[in-house]
Amino acid sequence: MGFDAFFIARLDYQDKEKRLNDKTMEFVWRPMFDTLGESAQIFTHCLYHHYSAPPGFDFDTLSSDDPFITDQRLTTYNAPEKAEQFHEWVL
């Protein structure tokens, strides 16, 4: 289909727990390996918070109190702080 990657959110809770513990939320999926081998494979990532943004980074919903990321043109410049928070969350 021309995709470069595949992102999924709905997986079995036991599989997700194991992948979180093993740090294998990203993998190369070979769904038809027995018949097609490596010719049918795609990089796959399992989303951590289903379809939601990470805590503190929900900028898309009106009900969110998460602050927007602002740049140097505004008085409340928080881009470096938000970048550090995101980096810590990813680790």
Q: How many domains does the chain divide into?
A: 2
Average pLDDT, the chain: 84
Same domain for 39 and 66, yes or no, is: no
**For residues 31 and 75, which has the higher predicted lDDT (pLDDT)?**
31
The whole-model pTM stands at 0.58
Query: What is the per-residue pLDDT for 70?
Result: 77
- Residue of 48, 62, 53 whose CA lies nearest to 9: 48
Residues 47 and 60 in one domain: no
44 lies in the same domain as 10: yes
CB 37 within 8 A of CB 54: no
Q: Are residues 8 and 37 in the same domain?
A: yes
Question: Are residues 67 and 91 located together in one domain of the fold?
Answer: yes
Residue 63 has pLDDT above 70, yes or no: yes
* Domain membership of residue 23 as a residue range: 1-51
The reported pLDDT for the residue numbered 74 is: 66
Do 41 and 67 have their domain in common?
A: no
| Amino acid, res. 35 | T
